[in-house]
Amino acid sequence: QAKQQGRSQYQFYSPEINTQLQERLTLENELHGALERNEMLVYYQPLIDLHSGHITAMEALVRWQHPTLGMISPAKFIPIAEANGAIVQIGEWVLRTACAQNRAWQLAGFTPIRISVNLSARQFEQPYLVEVINQILEETGLQASDLELEVTESFLMGDIERSVKTLKQLRELGIWLALDDFGTGYSSLNYLKRFPVNMLKIDRSFVQDVMSNPDSAAVTNAIIALAKSLRLSITAEGVETQEQLDYLRMQGCDEGQGFYFSCPVPADIIAPMLQKTSQQMEIITA
C-alpha cells in the first residue's frame, strides 16, 4: 500500500516539477530581453524613523511584469539573473532608475531622503562598479549622501580584502552602506568590524516571530546591542504589527520597514506619503 501511495504521489508531483522547470527555462531565456521590452519595474518601500515617525529612506525593489506569467517576484528571478549574468545590466538599470526617482522627488520639493538599492554579488565583483555608480550619480544629479547600497555578508566574505577595498571606495564617495538580511549569513564579528558599513538590517525572519519566539527576540536584541556598540544604525525589516513596532522601539531600534507602514509600491503611490514627511506618520503618533 505504501508503495502504491508513493507511486501515486510520484505521478501527482511529476507534472508539477516539469512545469516548474519549464517556467525556470522560460524565465532564463526571456530575462535578457526583459529590460529592452520595458518589462522591469521598480517599486519602493519606505523606511521609518521609529522615534520621529519620519520617512528616512525608500528601498528600491525590482519587479518583472512578464507578459504571460504576470508579476514575478525578485526572489524568483534574481537568482536566475545572478546565475546567467543578466543581473549586472538589470542592477545597473535599477540603480539609475532609483537615483533618478529620488532626484525627481527632491526637485518636486519633498524633504530629501535616502534611496536604498540592493547590490548583487555579481555586480559587486564588477571591476568598474565604483565608476559606474559615480557616473549614475553625475547623470542623475543625485548626491552620494542620498544613496544607500545594501550588501550581504555572504557575498562580502568571498574575497574579503577586495570587499573591504570596494566598500571603502564607496564610503569615500559619501554613499551609505547597509548590511542586509543581517543574522542569516555567515556573520563573523571579526569581519563585521572591518567592513566600513553604516547600518545593519535585521532580517525579517527574526522580526516575524519576535513576540512569540524568545530565541528570535534574543537574536534581535543581541543584533541591536551589537549595532549600538559598533555605533552602527539599525533597521528592522518585516515589521507587520503594532506590537512588533513597540517592542523594537523599546529595544532601541532606529528604523523600521514593513507591511505595517507600507508594502512596496510604484513611485506615484509613494509621492503622497512623502508629503507627510514634514508631519509624523499618523500610525506612530496615534
Which residues form the interface with Mg ion (CB under 5 A)?
118, 150, 180-181, 237
Contact 105, 67 (CB under 8 A): no
Among Mg ion, ligand C2E, none, residue 92 binds (CB under 5-8 Å by kind): none
Beta bridge partners of 275: none
For 96-247, list the strands marked E by DSSP.
114-118, 147-151, 176-182, 199-202, 233-237
Shorter beta-carbon distance to Mg ion: residue 45 or 140: 45
DSSP structural state of residue 211 = T
Write each residue from 29 to 68 as x if it is in contact with ligand C2E (CB under 6 A), else as -, in one continuous string: ----------------x---------------xx------
| Binding-site member from 17, 214, 259, 269 for ligand C2E (CB under 6 A) | 259
**Assigned C-alpha cell, 109:** 520639493
| Binding-site member from 46, 53, 91, 183 for ligand C2E (CB under 6 A) | 91
Is residue 94 close enough to count as binding ligand C2E by CB under 6 A? yes
The residue among 118, 126, 122, 193 whose CA lies nearest residue 152 is 118
Cell 508503495 appears where? Answer: 3
Cell 525578485 appears where? Answer: 74
Shorter beta-carbon distance to ligand C2E: residue 239 or 248: 239
**Residues lying near ligand C2E in the complex (CB under 6 A):** 45, 61-62, 73-75, 78, 91, 94, 118, 120, 150, 180-181, 204, 237-240, 257-259, 264
